[in-house]
Amino acid sequence: MGEGAEKITFPVVAERAGVNPTTLYRRWDSVHALLEEVAVAALTRDGESAPDTGSLQQDLTEWAQVIARDITRPHRARYLRAMVSARTEIVASCPVTEKRREQASEVVSRARERGEKTPSVPQILDHVIAPLYHHVVFALPVDREYTRRLVRDVLAMAE
């Protein structure tokens, strides 16, 4: 929105969307709730599942690269930064994180069914997914080699 996260209000959003603010108030109880729903829509895709290549390393690498390509697009990166700066308190859960947890669980489950050693879902989130978002939020470089390194590092944790 360009005005700073602290200026994101229902009237501002309604004006930009061309709707009456009461439309927003009826659906969301706060701007934070609205932003959370938009975040999930903007930063994940409905029905999106992690790749299934037959190899844990390849699945994680492709998945990390898909996420990296998506969140490094300029409008996605700006949105992600705005969403993070709009947060004023610690939250119990984050819908984007929950979506990524579901996807990581899919990858781990398939790999275990194939008999592969796997890192845990929290390890994948903490050592592959979180660094990608961290790099984007702080405008640090993200490239294919970086995603490959994150995957190699987390695979070294496999049990």
Q: What confidence tens digit (pLDDT) does each residue in 24-35 have?
A: 888 888 887 787
- Evaluate whether residue 6 is within a structural domain: no
Assess whether pLDDT exceeds 60 at residue 142. yes
Q: pLDDT tens digits for 40-79?
A: 666 666 557 789 999 999 999 999 999 999 899 998 888 8
- Evaluate whether residue 33 is within a structural domain: no
Mean pLDDT of the chain: 87
* Domain housing 108: 47-155
Kindly indicate the confidence band of residue 3, based on its pLDDT and cuts at 50, 70 and 90: very low
Percent of the chain whose predicted confidence (pLDDT) is above 70:
89
- Evaluate whether residue 41 is within a structural domain: no
Assess whether pLDDT exceeds 60 at residue 2. no
- Evaluate whether residue 146 is within a structural domain: yes
- Evaluate whether residue 12 is within a structural domain: no
What sign for the dihedral angle of Cα 119, 121, 126, 128? positive
Name the percent of the chain in helix, strand, coil, to the closest 5.
70, 0, 30
Assess whether pLDDT exceeds 90 at residue 154. yes
**What is the SS3 string spanning 52-120?**
CCCCHHHHHHHHHHHHHHHHCCHHHHHHHHHHHHHCCCCCCCCHHHHHHHHHHHHHHHHHHHCCCCCCC
- Evaluate whether residue 77 is within a structural domain: yes
- Evaluate whether residue 134 is within a structural domain: yes
Assess whether pLDDT exceeds 60 at residue 102. yes
Residue 31, amino acid: V
- Evaluate whether residue 4 is within a structural domain: no
pLDDT of residue 53: 95
pTM here is 0.78
* Domain tally, the chain: 1
Assess whether pLDDT exceeds 60 at residue 81. yes
Distance from C-alpha of 62 to C-alpha of 50, rounded to nearest angstrom: 8
